[in-house]
Amino acid sequence: MARLPIFLALAFLVSPHAASAAERTVTLTVDNMYCEACPYMVKKAIEHVSGVSKVTVSFKDKTAVVVFDDAKAGVKDLTSAATNAGFPSALKS
């Protein structure tokens, strides 16, 4: 068990390269954003998903552009996070 922190430290050091290989950007539609504070809550909810590196929410367009590691998270994880926070979300087609 004592070796685990070392392993995690090494994994962290190499992860920027590993993550970029599987990095993916998607645009989600986000419903129920009625005021300027809502995009902030959507951003926080999606940022909590493991593997997410960047979230840009547009109040005007009702969308969230999410950059994430697709080895760690799927689109469903992103839409579920927003939906569970009260903002029904789906992959924009």
Q: Which residues bind Cu ion (CB under 5 A)?
A: 35, 37-38
Which one, 42 or 73, has the nearer CB to Cu ion? 42
Cβ at position 52, least distance to Cu ion in Å: 21
Reference 57, options 86, 72, 36, 81; nearest CA is 36
Residue 28 or 73 with smaller CB distance to Cu ion: 28
CB 62 to Cu ion: min, Å: 12
Encoding tokens for residue 59?
């109040």
* Cβ atoms of residues 57 and 22 within 8 Å: no
SS3 state at 14:
helix
- Least separation in angstroms between residue 56's CB and Cu ion is 17
Residue number, 18 or 61, with CB nearest to Cu ion: 61
The residues facing 54 across adjacent strands are: 67
